[in-house]
DNA sequence: CCGTTCTCTTGACACTGTCCAAGAAGAGCT
DNA sequence: AGCTCTTCTTGGACAGTGTCAAGAGAACGG
């Protein structure tokens, strides 16, 4: 498969994997690299397409496997922002999401606390690992578009790509 | 189809629909009734099975349609607690969810503030309609089971039925 | 009662995520 | 290095979920 990663990058990623007690494998390096390079959130299919564009073909099952292991070791996070919309992203900075019900875009919102369990549930005896907040409403762009005299907000059609990188 | 609803119940539900500016139709009455009778959250398939057990057969697409209209009018709420796990429940009391990563159960957590948007995102210009919090971690039962000397927490196998009613 | 508008129904479909079994590859040990 | 154990990857198939489209039917307002 020959992951096209510079040696030092490869070393850095491998170190991350090892420190998370994960074996260093090529698919893991590739996917971790892709998720770290892109700041924002991506669907799994986005990741697949991205890799394909770079000439790397990984089975979907592998991508899901890798993501699962990365998630369970805390290197990346997933957010469910709607049915069939599992978003994957680097967990370097904990954050939350705003989902626009008009254009469907998902916007990252920084976590006020910054650390992982930023809220405590009223649930005695539970071990809380993380708290994710999903806001729903109308995003600033759609609000503005509406204010500008009924412009159709759906012009944007950037569904879930507003933080877009190249992935 | 003959919804088996007592007249006064039917009246009450119809009034609710009307006050939400929704047409009063049999599927809507049936589904709203089911969701209100059960306190907790249900997957769409749960709702379908429940209705089937009562001898009512509704197409899945209809259930999804009805739920969508009920949600958009604020009568019920949905929560995405994981991939392919859309939960539907009455929106009478706004609340949040705790998902156990061991047994998979979903536990309702009351909203700290009580009003709907209990948190404000740092996103100027956006219109926030609701905020949903999902906690992930280990639920009290699994914590207890673990403490009791390595009992396999998976005994419970009550996946998403801990608040269980009969639906 | 009539027409308009919305909703339901039906079936098929697409998308997402998972499972399985065989083989390959990483990690630790000698 | 070589061996062995363990884990991971692969590929295909599969299942669960949610959506779409078109026609038939029902509800609302006059």
Mind listing the pLDDT tens digit for each residue in A82-112? 888 899 999 888 889 999 988 888 999 988 7
Q: Give chain D positions with protein CB within 7 A.
A: 7-13, 16-21, 26-28
- Any CB–CB contact under 8 A between B134 and chain A? yes
Chain A CB contacts of B82 under 8 Å are 80
Is B145 in the A-facing interface, judged by CB distances under 8 Å?
no
CA distance B51 to chain A (A): 22
The pLDDT value recorded for residue A156 is 39
What domains can you pick out in chain A, each with its CATH number? 7-155 (1.10.10.10)
User: Is residue B160 scored above 50 in pLDDT?
Assistant: no
Percent share of chain B, pLDDT over 90:
49
Is B24 or B53 the better-scoring residue by pLDDT?
B24
Averaged pLDDT for residues B133-155: 75
Euclidean distance between CA atoms B166 and B37, whole angstroms? 9
For the CA of A23 and the C1' of D7, the distance in angstroms is 8
pLDDT, tens digit, for every residue of A40-76? 888 999 999 999 888 999 999 999 999 999 999 999 9
Per cent of chain A over pLDDT 70 is 84
pLDDT surpasses 60 at A119: yes
Contact B86, B103 (CB under 8 A): no
Position A151 scores a pLDDT of 46
Contact B123/A144, CB-based, under 8 Å? no
> How many Cα neighbours within 13 Å face the side chain of B24?
12
Q: Does B74 touch chain A (CB under 8 A)?
A: no
pLDDT for the residue numbered A20: 94
Whole-number pLDDT of residue A115: 65
Average pLDDT over residues A138-163: 59
Q: What is the pLDDT of residues B86-119, one digit of tens each?
A: 999 988 888 899 999 888 889 999 876 655 555 7
Contact of A129 with chain B, judged by CB distance below 8 Å, is answered with yes
Partner residue opposite A143 with nearest CB, options B121, B122, B127:
B127
pLDDT of residue B167 exceeding 60, the answer is no
**Structure confidence at residue A149 as a pLDDT band (50, 70, 90):** low
In this structure, what token pair is assigned to residue A54? 């770079």
Is the minimum CB–CB distance between B1 and chain A shorter than 8 Å?
no
Of A82, A126, A137, the CB nearest to B140: A126
Q: In this structure, are residues B105 and B158 in contact, taking their beta carbons and an 8 Å threshold?
A: yes
Helix (H, G, I), strand (E, B) or coil at B129: strand
Q: Residue A114: its pLDDT value, please?
A: 63
pLDDT of B18 over the 90 cut: yes
Q: Is A84 on the interface with B (CB under 8 A)?
A: yes
A73, A21 contact by CB (below 8 A): yes
Does pLDDT of A150 surpass 80? Answer: no
The integer distance in angstroms from the CA atom of B63 to the C1' atom of D20 is 15
pLDDT reported for residue B106? 92
Q: Do A123 and B86 touch (CB under 8 A)?
A: no
Which residue would you say has higher pLDDT here, A162 or B74?
Answer: B74
Q: Tell me the pLDDT tens digit for each residue of B37-87.
A: 887 888 999 999 999 889 999 999 999 999 999 999 999 999 998 888 899
- So what's the pLDDT on residue B94? 87
A51 CA from D13 C1′ (Å): 23
Please, which pLDDT band fits residue B32 given cuts at 50, 70 and 90? very high
Nearest to A116 by CA among A106, A128, A102, A107: A128
Average pLDDT taken over every residue of chain A: 83
Integer Cα distance of B60 and A61 in angstroms: 28
Cα(A56)–Cα(B69) distance, integer angstroms: 43
Q: Within 7 Å: CB of B62 and strand D?
A: no
Instruction: Give the model's pLDDT for residue B152.
Output: 46
User: Contact, B140 vs A126, CB < 8 A?
Assistant: yes
Q: Are A136 and A126 in contact (CB under 8 A)?
A: no
The span from the first CA to the last CA of chain A, in angstroms, equals: 19
User: Can you count the helices (H) and strands (E) in chain A?
Assistant: 5, 6
Report the pLDDT value the prediction gives residue A101, as an integer from 0 to 100.
85
Question: Residue with CA nearest C18 C1'?
Answer: A61
pLDDT score of B1: 45
Judge: B132–A131 Cβ closer than 8 Å, yes or no: no
Interatomic separation, CA of residue A24 and C1' of nucleotide C28, rounded (Å): 14
Q: Please give the pLDDT value at position B41.
A: 83
Out of A117, A126, A139, closest to residue B126 by CB: A139
pLDDT score, position B150:
52
Is the predicted pLDDT of residue A163 greater than 70, yes or no?
A: no
């Amino acid at each position: 498969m020959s992951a096209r990663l510079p040696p030092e990058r490869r070393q850095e990623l491998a170190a991350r994997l090892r420190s998370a007690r994960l074996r260093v494998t090529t698919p893991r390096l590739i996917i971790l690299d892709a998720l770290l390079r892109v700041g924002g959130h991506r669907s799994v299919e986005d990741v697949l397409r991205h890799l394909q564009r770079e000439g790397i073909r990984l089975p979907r099952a592998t991508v899901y496997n890798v993501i699962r292991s990365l998630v369970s070791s805390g290197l990346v996070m997933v957010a469910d922002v709607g049915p069939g919309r599992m978003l994957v992203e680097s967990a370097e900075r904990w954050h939350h999401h705003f989902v626009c019900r008009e254009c469907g875009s998902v916007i990252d919102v920084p976590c006020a606390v910054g650390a992982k369990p930023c809220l405590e549930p009223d649930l005695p005896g539970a071990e809380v690992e993380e708290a994710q907040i999903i806001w729903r409403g109308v995003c600033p762009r759609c609000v503005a578009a509406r204010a500008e005299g009924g412009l159709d907000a759906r012009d944007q059609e950037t569904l879930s790509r507003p933080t877009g990188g190249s992935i």
